[in-house]
Amino acid sequence: MGSLQADIGELAHHLKQERLFLEAEKHQIQLLNEKVRKTIERAYHASWVRGEQQRNYDDLVLRPHSSPPACCQKANLLNQLKFIDGYKVLGFNESLYGDLLSSLRENPRLVARCLAMGESQSQEAMQVTARTVFSSIYANCVLPDDETYVLNLLKHLMELQLATSETPRRLLRHGSCAFSQIYRAYVDTLPQAKVFLTAALHQPIVQLLMEDELFLDIDPSKAAVRFPAEERLRRFGKEGTPEYNAALAKYRAWTIAKLVKITDR
C-alpha cells in the first residue's frame, strides 16, 4: 500500500513538472509569435514608407510640376511617420474593413476590372488608386503570396487593356494605364523581377536579331517606307494601285504571323 502511494505521489510530481514545462514552452511560443508579428509589422511599415519615398523621388524627377522643397518636405514627413493601429480609428468596423481588403486581395480579377473601369472615369484617380492597391492590399509584395496575386493582377490587366487595344504599343509607351502603373510598381519594388525578365528575354531577342534583317512593322503607313524606293516598287508595285494595297496587306499579315511565331517560342 505504501509503495502504491509513493508511486502515485511520484506520478503526480512528474505530471506537475510536465504541466509546468508545457506552460513555460507555451509562454515562450507566445513570446516568439509576438516577436514575429512585430517584426512582420515593422517590415510592412518599412516597405510602405520605402514605396512612398520611391514615388516621391519619381515625382521629383519625372513630373515638372513637382517642386524640390515640396518633395523634401514629403520625404521628411515620411521619415517621421507614426503608424496607428486600425482598431483605434475604425473601432468595431476594423474587422469589416479587414474582410473587404482580404476579399480584394484574393480576387485579382475583380481588382483588375475595378482599375480598368476606374481608368475610364478618371485616369489620374486611377493612378493614385493603383499605387494604393499595390502598397496596401498587396503590401508591396513582402510575402510570396502577394507577389503571386500581383502577377495574376497583371495577367488580368493585360487581357482587359492590352489585348483589347488597337495600339498596345502606344498604350505602354505612355505608361499611364493601370497595367503600366502596377507593372512599374512591381519591378521597382522587386529588383529580381528585372533580372528575371532580362534573362528570360535575352535569348529570344538575340535570336530575332540574328535571324534576318526584315522589318517587322505592323503599321501599314510605316511598313512600306522602311524600304528604298526601288525595293518598295519591286515588293509592292506602284503606290496607290489595288495591287499595291493587296501586296501591303499581304506583307502585314506575314509580319503579324512572324511576330506570333516569335512570341510562341
pLDDT of residue 163: 85
Q: What percent of the chain has pLDDT over 70?
A: 94
Write out pLDDT tens, residues 10-35. 888 888 888 889 999 999 999 999 99
Report residue 56's pLDDT band, with 50, 70 and 90 as the boundaries: confident
By the 10 Å C-beta count (0-12 exposed, 13-18 middle, 19+ buried), 25 is classed as exposed
Task: Output the DSSP codes for 88-150.
Answer: HHHGGGHHHHHHHHHHHHT-HHHHHHHHHHHHHH-HHHHHHHHHHIIIIISGGG-SHHHHHHH
pLDDT attached to residue 105 = 94
What distance in Å separates the CA atoms of residue 55 and residue 257, rounded to the nearest whole number?
A: 40
The per-residue pLDDT for 150 is 94
Please give the residue that has the higher pLDDT: either 22 or 224: 22
Q: What pTM was estimated for this model as a whole?
A: 0.71
Amino acid sitting at position 225: V
* Angle between the N-to-C axes of helices 108-121 and 144-157, in degrees from 0 to 180, rounded to the nearest 10: 50
pLDDT of residue 160: 92
Q: Which amino acid is at 205?
A: I
The burial of 135, by beta-carbon neighbours within 10 Å (0-12 exposed, 13-18 middle, 19 or more buried), is given as buried
pLDDT at 247: 85
Helices (H) and strands (E) in the chain, counts: 13, 0
Closest of 124, 261, 242 to residue 204, by C-alpha:
261
**pLDDT tens for each residue of 164-222:** 888 888 888 888 899 999 998 898 888 788 787 777 777 777 777 776 666 666 676 67
Distances (CA, A) of 141 to 63, 119, 257: 26, 23, 37
Q: CA–CA separation, 179 vs 181, rounded Å?
A: 5
